[in-house]
Amino acid sequence: MTRREFLRSGLLVTAAGPWMLGRTNGEEPAEPDLLGQAEDRIRRHRRRRRTVVVRDAEGRPLAGVGVRAEMVRHEFLFGCNLFQFGRFRDDPLEEDYRRRFADLFNFATLGFYWSWYEPRRGEPGHERVERALRWAGEHGIVCKGHPLVWDHPAASPRWLPEEDDALARCVEERVRDIVGRFRGRLEIWDVVNEPTHLPDRANRTRMARWGEKLGPVAYARRPLEVARSANPGARLLVNDYRLDQRYYEILDALRGPDGQPLYDAVGLQSHMHGGPWPLRRIERVCEQFARLGRPLHFTEVTVLSGPRLGPGENWGPTTPELEQLQAEYVEKLYTTLFGHPAVEAITWWDLSDRGAWQRAAAGLLRADMSPKPAYERLQNLLRQRWWTRAEGTTDAAGAWSCEAFHGWYRIVVTDAGGRERIREADWRQRAADVLEIRI
């Protein structure tokens, strides 16, 4: 079954229509119940009480000292692909694209599609990635590479050898070179993309023919092993759109001699060109793949704000009515995913309608880089409701506490003379609950 056939099959998209959400047959929780459960999970799993203890140089607690906690970055990865970086000839559009990206996200997916990354053998486009990495680093944005091994025409350059052993060596060399080259700067990788659709009869590329002979498990296993050897500390993913039993079985078979999965997180695509998925279906996908014992990354999220005009990739421009519906669903979707303890990353697919996949109105921004309501909803969630800014004064024990979302913080302590001391704090999920500051 090809990718398009699968997405049209209804296995993940309801036949009820794009916007018929919240209906229940009486056997499953209604949408408000699911959202209420998600909000409760967010309170329990995404934040906890943290304490700052202020002491003088001799270790005595200081009472009545002002303390301010300012969140700098979430531990949870809220991201988007950065594919349009540097591509706008109109400088104001480029500036707006970058500003809107950095104002919302802490995570970026960089493209490594083989056909355009290395159109001629031995001439990879490393510099384009270097430029994006430098900009992302300046803005505190974590990056991921996508994808290293894929059988699509975008990832199957014409110069690939016809001899299978030679092709296998090319794949290994590519994975080893790229993962090793960016070690320490690019630590998250979609190593293998869409192994479920081997063979895809509509996509008979050189990579597809080779992958069909190997089978999906062998096709994915060796690149994961090579990536691990090139950077033992990297976070490796397999990524797919078929969120069904076939994908689960491939992932379950990808284990090392110790019985542990060869990957560090499970990549789950969710392109909703046929209409938003019911929230209960989102929950089911999370519960199913969480059983593998690895965190979940929703790697490619698409919800449109423009209509389908006809068969195939035939989409209309964004409309005010569909923008409102997109915004309402995006808020529900992100609440559901952020509330699930197995999920650690969400990546929106295409920030702007300009250059979006299938030329659909898939962006959070319009083609002129103005924000849609969905962007503003996410801004409110990520930078207001799920963001910690708190202040107070220490008690007799020199302590001050607050409920804080997991992440990195700037702690500002103001002494009796009005002087400020600033301390950076790692308050991720596994960090200590108490931070001691001496002044």
Q: Report, at the CATH architecture level, how domain 46-70+388-438 is classified.
A: Sandwich (2.60)
What pLDDT does residue 202 have? 53
Specify the fold of 3-30+76-371: TIM Barrel (3.20.20)
Measure the CA–CA gap between 422 and 430, rounded to whole angstroms.
22
∠ CA 381-383-389, rounded to 5°: 120
Tell me the two tokens of residue 374. 């969905």
* Annotated domain spans of the chain: 3-30+76-371, 46-70+388-438
Average pLDDT over residues 263-273: 98
Given a contact cutoff of 8 angstroms between Cβ atoms, the answer to whether 409 and 70 are in contact is yes
- Predicted structure pTM score: 0.92
Instruction: Please indicate whether residue 173 or residue 204 has the higher confidence score (pLDDT).
Output: 173
Average pLDDT over residues 161-178: 97
Measure the CA–CA gap between 30 and 219, rounded to whole angstroms.
41
User: What's the pLDDT tens digit per position in 205-237?
Assistant: 999 999 999 999 999 999 999 999 999 999 999
Residue 25 has pLDDT above 60, yes or no: no
What pLDDT does residue 32 have? 80
User: What's the pLDDT tens digit per position in 368-381?
Assistant: 999 999 999 999 99
- DSSP string computed for 281-317: HHHHHHHHHHTTSS-EEEEEEEE-SS-EEETTTEEPP
